[in-house]
Chains A and B, each alone.
Chain A
């Protein structure tokens, strides 16, 4: 009884996870010859490439304000925050000025943002997949 029960459990596990393991082996073999940065570019895609470019442009001791064009840009902002570390960062979202986003342009107008920043440093705009330095 034990063997059939274990066999059924394993059949289920292979059914649900087998393709994941096959994919893991395939990915590992495909990525192994590449340098680690190239592996990241392949796995994480275009956003990572842009974030790495920004990280290479911005000095490590810079203070960075990450401006989110829309609320849904928050995830890209979070990852940009991660890849920019150890640079000092904070977030601003012109459309949602409030306690969580203390540095806001008058009327929430993005175009006036660089002139109203209270912190000196680099301002990076996250506008969907378009992420760029808009002021230094």
Chain B
């Protein structure tokens, strides 16, 4: 229960303060991102973590006390009633995660072990990360999720993984509620509720192995991808985009190319204002480089080092597609239909946004399978579902845009990015 209370209070507190400064966004996701970003930079600078947590909390309270409300409020009973499927699903998922023990492979082998080490050593470059104490597989994996989990453990004064169960489920739930808020603005409240609920029912998200009930970093990455994607569409707050890009870098290795794709797209959306997004991203990348230079080398596969071998391996593309495509599932059939509808109806703007968020990274994932040293079928079997979960928010956006294609078409003609309200 301690972990549940912390997940529902600490991260939303930080996120609410961030929202006061940078505009309305998901309190939980902004809080989880800001908390980990601050702790990571502090850890790289050798600043003790517990005082940083105290300063974060005091700063958040000060911001909440001194700045005017950004318009966020407690939902009315009628709003909760209209979103009942979403609330019920979120409740079952959250309580289920809290009650059932962690049993996924990656969560225990890599991510939660790092969280325990950070909470125990109070450092991100201590003996654990120097491989001087415990065996640390995937030693250089990014630390956003472990830092947030370690924060919960530090509050609970206990390194048991049960305290972080709610935290990981909340990444999926917070993304679902963010999808609901955004889609209600852009499309319609009922479509927003049903697609947000659908997000929590998609097998890639719901599953205990790599999904919302695991302790992996794929669902957090999917949440930050979704938030960054929504900022691009809204085109109002480059600083918020910067937070999400920094979070992408610090969540998983795949987050770096994701962030660079979004940054490149952001240049077209924000023009010169993109600088505000590039600064947090640059800080995160620099801190990541500095940290990795200081800790022991990792045992993970060097994908970038294998890319030059692509011409020799290109013949394996057929095998990759044979293994990869059957993993896409019903959601992607709906996405294909949605893309066809948007093309036929010439709703180019939402189509371009959706494809920019999906195609470059999907191509990169496919190439990673082509150049891998692993058995392709085996690698696809253990990773495809998790990789596809990264695209869930852009995928749902394409479906929503196709369902509201008349509104979507108007996006190309108006400068205001909230067609449902215009």
Interface residues of B in 228-286 (CB under 8 A from A): none
Interface residues of A in 12-69 (CB under 8 A from B): 12-14, 16-17, 20-21, 24-25, 27-28, 31-32, 36, 39-40, 43-44, 66
CB contacts (< 8 Å) of B133 on chain A: these are 86, 88-89
Find out whether the CB atom of A6 lies under 8 angstroms from the CB atom of B100.
no
CB contacts (< 8 Å) of B334 on chain A: these are 5, 9
Find out whether the CB atom of A28 lies under 8 angstroms from the CB atom of B113.
no
Find out whether the CB atom of B201 lies under 8 angstroms from the CB atom of A28.
no
Chain B residue nearest to A18 (CB atoms) is B201
B116 to chain A, nearest CB (A): 5
CB contacts (< 8 Å) of A36 on chain B: these are 101, 162
A2 within 8 A of B: yes
Find out whether the CB atom of A28 lies under 8 angstroms from the CB atom of B100.
yes
On chain A, which size bracket covers the interface?
A: 35 or more
Find out whether the CB atom of A27 lies under 8 angstroms from the CB atom of B100.
yes
Find out whether the CB atom of B203 lies under 8 angstroms from the CB atom of A16.
yes
Find out whether the CB atom of A12 lies under 8 angstroms from the CB atom of B330.
yes
CB contacts (< 8 Å) of B109 on chain A: these are 78-79, 82
B 328-348 to A, binary, CB cutoff 8 A, 1 in contact else 0: 011100100000000000000
Chain A residue nearest to B112 (CB atoms) is A82
CB contacts (< 8 Å) of B135 on chain A: these are 66, 81, 89-91
CB contacts (< 8 Å) of A13 on chain B: these are 198, 201-202, 330
- From B108, B191, B203, B208, A6 is in contact (CB under 8 Å) with B191
Find out whether the CB atom of A40 lies under 8 angstroms from the CB atom of B101.
yes
Classify the secondary structure of A's interface with B: helix
CB contacts (< 8 Å) of B112 on chain A: these are 82
- Bound together, the chains give a CA A91 to CA B95 distance in angstroms of 37
Find out whether the CB atom of A79 lies under 8 angstroms from the CB atom of B108.
yes
- From B108, B195, B198, A82 is in contact (CB under 8 Å) with B108
Find out whether the CB atom of B206 lies under 8 angstroms from the CB atom of A21.
yes
- Bound together, the chains give a CA A75 to CA B89 distance in angstroms of 33
Interface residues of B in 345-404 (CB under 8 A from A): 399, 403-404
B69 within 8 A of A: no
B212 to chain A, nearest CB (A): 10
A132 within 8 A of B: no
B 83-96 to A, binary, CB cutoff 8 A, 1 in contact else 0: 00000010011011
Chain B residue nearest to A36 (CB atoms) is B162
- Bound together, the chains give a CA A17 to CA B195 distance in angstroms of 15
Classify the secondary structure of B's interface with A: helix
- Bound together, the chains give a CA A100 to CA B117 distance in angstroms of 22
Given contacts A20-B207, A88-B134, A90-B135, A75 and B105 within 8 Å (CB-CB): yes
Find out whether the CB atom of A6 lies under 8 angstroms from the CB atom of B194.
yes
- Bound together, the chains give a CA A91 to CA B137 distance in angstroms of 11
A28 to chain B, nearest CB (A): 4
- From A6, A9, A24, B92 is in contact (CB under 8 Å) with A24
Find out whether the CB atom of B134 lies under 8 angstroms from the CB atom of A89.
yes
Find out whether the CB atom of A44 lies under 8 angstroms from the CB atom of B134.
no
CB contacts (< 8 Å) of B103 on chain A: these are 43-44
A51 to chain B, nearest CB (A): 11
- Bound together, the chains give a CA A84 to CA B133 distance in angstroms of 12
B142 within 8 A of A: no
Find out whether the CB atom of A16 lies under 8 angstroms from the CB atom of B99.
no
Chain B residue nearest to A44 (CB atoms) is B103
Find out whether the CB atom of A28 lies under 8 angstroms from the CB atom of B95.
yes
CB contacts (< 8 Å) of B162 on chain A: these are 36
CB contacts (< 8 Å) of B96 on chain A: these are 24-25, 27-28
B120 within 8 A of A: yes
B216 within 8 A of A: no
B146 within 8 A of A: no
B196 to chain A, nearest CB (A): 12
- Bound together, the chains give a CA A43 to CA B97 distance in angstroms of 13
CB contacts (< 8 Å) of A32 on chain B: these are 99
Determine which residue in B134, B159, B191, B213 has the highest number of CB atoms from chain A within 10 A of its CB, and name it: B134
Chain B residue nearest to A10 (CB atoms) is B198
Chain A residue nearest to B133 (CB atoms) is A88
B338 to chain A, nearest CB (A): 9
A34 to chain B, nearest CB (A): 9
Find out whether the CB atom of B101 lies under 8 angstroms from the CB atom of A17.
no
Other than the given A13-B330, A27-B100, A85-B113, 15 more pairs (CB < 8 A) read A9-B330, A12-B330, A17-B202, A24-B100, A24-B213, A27-B99, A28-B100, A32-B99, A39-B100, A43-B101, A85-B116, A85-B134, A86-B116, A90-B135, A100-B299
Question: Would you give 25 A-B contacts (Cβ < 8 Å), ordered by A?
Answer: A6-B403, A9-B198, A13-B198, A14-B201, A16-B330, A17-B202, A17-B203, A20-B203, A21-B89, A24-B93, A24-B96, A27-B96, A28-B95, A28-B99, A31-B99, A39-B101, A40-B101, A43-B101, A81-B135, A82-B109, A85-B117, A86-B116, A86-B120, A86-B134, A86-B159
